[in-house]
Amino acid sequence: MKTAIGVPVLLLTLCVALQSASAFTYTYGNGTPCRVKVTVHLYDGTDRIGELEANGSYTISSEALLKSWSAEAFTDNEWKQVVSMTCDLLPGNHTFSIYFDETKDVSGQVTRIWNALIK
């Protein structure tokens, strides 16, 4: 009886250990004509920073889960925070596409609304 219970528990423990030993990838795509700097905060306490050229991408690989991330865009000759997300995602590989929508009012004033899609 102990063997019948011990084998499934051992297999479950092995599966959990293998899952936690694997690395996750987080990919950030810049779908804008601006330079974008991404700061990624992981649950292991480390931060990763990557700069994306216009229409470029940045990928990190980590065994730690994603805690939060933010993006700054270089516009008007300065860095401005444009997106900030706290993440409670299931373990796995994730892709984030950073983009903006522009609208122009009747006076010609252009407004950008920044956002990100999670895939």
Q: 62, 26 in Cβ contact below 8 A?
A: yes
Mean pLDDT of 67-76: 94
Separation between Cα atoms, residue 107 and residue 93, nearest integer Å: 44
Residue 6, pLDDT > 60, answer no
Mean pLDDT of 65-76: 93
pLDDT confidence bin for 3, thresholds 50/70/90: low
- Report the candidate in 38, 49, 43 with the shortest Cα–Cα distance to residue 20: 43
